[in-house]
Structure 1
Amino acid sequence: MNDARRVKLPWVDFAKGLCMVLVVLFHSALFMETQVNGDVVGFWWPVSEALSPIRMPLFFFISGLLSVSALGKGLGQSRQRTLGLYYVYLIWTFLFLMRLWLPLSRNGAPAPSAGDLVLSLLLPTSFWYLYALPVFFVAAWLLRRALGRFSAYALIPLALLSALSPLLEPLTQPVITAPLDALKVPSLATHFVWFYLGVHGRSLWDRLMASASYGRLALAAAAYAALVVPMMLFDLKLELKVPLSCLALFAMAQLVALVRMDARVPRWLQNLGSQTLPVYIFHIFLISVISALVKVSGLLQLLQSNLPLSNALLPPLMTIPIVVATVWLGKLIRSGPLWWLLEAPPALVGRKPARTPVAAQVVGPPKGPAKADPVQPGPAQAGPVS
């Protein structure tokens, strides 16, 4: 890999930060749908559904792109990406499951069995993205070595697997039942193709960015809207999911090439995109806390009595404070004695943990344009979405 490809490009963190905002917005809208709305469909839920072909495909594409150098090495040299991320998955999945011992968090369902708790740790559940990245990395490593110069052709069956992944849901849902999160094997089947496309698609992405124009961006956005509407109206995810995600990636290549990365909002997104791991982990906890507070405080009735206003305002009003709080929590933990909650121990991964040397600060826009520095993608750079 040449020097240009070792440079940390601003668009990478910008795109990751944008994905994280969309993920938190998605789960905030999901909170409204499941805890507040009843039979009423809120405004932000269909919006988040319409954005689903962008959120995770873009993030996994970037994760695959950032993995190319490491995939050329032995697995023993990439333990931070495999054992390290699985370690973080185990820690936070276990802590998240512990809330289910509180009856309020189970909505009247019985406490989970020990067997279900073990399955939730061994298989992809709540924090499935952290589970997926090590699996995808090892699978891509094996495919590249098994297929050699023909390894890119594996994208064809992987695209077919992605398109057919909804058929796996009825087969996997009975494995782990409520109040635990369902098994996320279909999500892994859906998104591996985008990680693998990132492994093989850097030169294509560079060409798309080099030829970007506002006309192409507008055309891609119009085509996306023309496809996403029938997908949602007629439940055509099986047929349109992969084409829509390809179109979304094309549109994002145009967008990140045209955006002024030194402007205020893009710089804020770059700052956010450089520390996605705590956002991904902690936003789920914070939304769970908000859900509990709404139930015990009587706010639920107030929200339900003003549903149009609640649906329009609450998800976006929740999103930014949650993002800011999660980044602050991540910096606080990394700078203190509990750093091991977000970084695997050195003995496990063969390297020193990336400790944050300064006190925690709330995320905000950088004071100047992002500077180029070497890419060293660890968990926080590879880290998520839903």
Structure 2
Amino acid sequence: MAETTATPHRPASRIGWVDTGKGICIILVVLMHVAGGLEGATGQESWIDPLIAWAKQFRMPGLFLLSGLFVPRLVGLGWNAFLDRKIVPLSYFYLLWFSINALMRFPPWGEAGFSGFAQDYALGLVDPFGVLWFIYLLTVFFAVAKAVWRWRHAALIAAALLALAPLSTGWMVPDQFTAYFVFFLAGAVFSAQIRAAADRAADHRRKTFAIWAGWFALSALATPFLGHDVQNAAPGVHLLLGIAGVAGILLSAVLVAGQLPWLDYCGRNSLPIYLAFFLPMVIGRAVLLRSGIPLDPGVAALLLTAISVAVPLLLHRLVRGTPLAFLFARPAWLGTRPRSARQQEIGSSL
């Protein structure tokens, strides 16, 4: 999650293809949740399901790897500064938006009452639920990467061995840690090499496109032939498809970077999208279903995805500089260092 200053303009230190890659991944994450919610509510499958199954190969591996690219800039900090720069903001955003989620999903004034709310809320502090698990795990990943950085190559080997057969305990943290930490740590350990390879790919676009086309064809075949669930069921398949998927999303980002400004904007503001997209998704789904408008399930998913991405971006801009800015900005008083020693993070991206 790259830190930005309070200016709404793009910082000079940002890397265009990284923003593009994050934009692709975050939109696909929203699409997955939107389509899944619509299918669950209507009982209808959609022609968009194969796209979602295909994107599983790189959606979360790519987002975690891109988030890990800037870890080397931070691990040299002392623990106090590191906690202030990464752990405190991520923890704040999780707790804030988890609380908003909790009030919507199991309000204390509902059937379960306050005791049920308190029980579910306490459980969410150790076992994240819903869409916010990524923020929770990202906090854990940053802390673990800092702790093992001196032995990072050995840690990467250990993470890869765990990812060969990810845990399936039913608890989000150990299961997702074993499945995805390898991609985050690989992004951190090989940050310089990945960035150099991306620069070379950008300089040789025809060759890059040819490689991308080959990846696209093979990865598209992998979904119907290997199946959606086999990524978790067969030892090693999850890791192999993830590695190939990460390579594909990096090639895609390099080829598309700068061509679609709105996509890059989504990548630069992926945190507001991730935190808040569930609000327009839930409300929009309810309105759509009650309206009775006969929409194709796939078309409805695409429409609702566009709304679920656009509304958080609009909300993020509207609350900037207002008392509601705390929704997407860590309050200036919250931190482990004095205010003068740091800048307020506004609109940080994943």
* Aligned pairs (5 A) from 1:169-318: 169=170, 172=171, 183=172, 185-209=174-198, 210-211=200-201, 213-232=208-227, 235-239=230-234, 240-259=237-256, 261-263=257-259, 265=260, 267-294=261-288, 297=290, 299=291, 302=292, 309-318=295-304
Contact 1:71 1:137 (C-alpha < 8 Å) held by counterparts: no
CA displacement at 1:234 relative to structure 2: 7.0
Q: 1:30/1:166 Cα in 2 relative to 1: closer, same or farther (>3 Å)? A: farther
Deviations 1:95-151 (A, max 9, x none): 111013469xx9xx8564422211213432231111112210110111113x2xxx2
Contact 2:53 2:228 (C-alpha < 8 Å) held by counterparts: no
**Alignment match, 1:135:** 140
CA displacement at 1:310 relative to structure 2: 2.1
Q: 1:277/1:198 Cα in 2 relative to 1: closer, same or farther (>3 Å)? A: same
Deviations 1:347-378 (A, max 9, x none): 332334245xxxxxxxxxxxxxxxxxxxxxxx
SS at match of 2:344: coil
**Alignment match, 1:162:** 163
Contact 1:24 1:283 (C-alpha < 8 Å) held by counterparts: yes
SS at match of 2:305: helix
Is 1:331 matched up with 2:317?
yes
Contact 2:137 2:177 (C-alpha < 8 Å) held by counterparts: yes
**Alignment match, 1:33:** 39
Tell me which stretches of 4 or more aligned residues in structure 1 moved more than 6 Å: none
- Aligned equivalents of 1:292, 1:286: Cα separation in 2: 10
- Aligned equivalents of 2:77, 2:60: Cα separation in 1: 26
Using structure 1 for the length normalisation, give the TM-score: 0.76
Whichever residue aligns with residue 293 of structure 1, its letter is: V
SS at match of 2:86: coil
* From 108, 121, 125, the counterpart of 2:125: 121
CA displacement at 1:155 relative to structure 2: 1.9
Contact 1:283 1:326 (C-alpha < 8 Å) held by counterparts: yes
Q: 1:102/1:257 Cα in 2 relative to 1: closer, same or farther (>3 Å)? A: closer
CA displacement at 1:166 relative to structure 2: 5.0
SS at match of 2:227: helix
- Aligned equivalents of 1:91, 1:124: Cα separation in 2: 13
* From 52, 64, 67, the counterpart of 1:63: 67
- Aligned equivalents of 1:204, 1:217: Cα separation in 2: 19
**Alignment match, 2:78:** 74
Q: How many residue pairs end up in the alignment?
A: 322
* From 48, 56, 64, the counterpart of 1:44: 48
**Alignment match, 2:327:** 341
SS at match of 1:82: helix
Identity of aligned residues (%): 25
CA displacement at 1:81 relative to structure 2: 0.7
CA displacement at 1:329 relative to structure 2: 0.5
- Aligned equivalents of 1:120, 1:230: Cα separation in 2: 36
SS at match of 2:14: coil
CA displacement at 1:93 relative to structure 2: 0.3
- Aligned equivalents of 1:136, 1:220: Cα separation in 2: 28
Whichever residue aligns with residue 138 of structure 1, its letter is: A
SS at match of 2:348: helix
Whichever residue aligns with residue 191 of structure 2, its letter is: R
C-alpha root-mean-square deviation of aligned residues, in Å? 2.5
**Alignment match, 1:322:** 308
- Aligned equivalents of 1:233, 1:90: Cα separation in 2: 32
SS at match of 1:353: coil
**Alignment match, 2:348:** 380
Deviations 1:180-220 (A, max 9, x none): xxx45422332111110110122332353314522211121
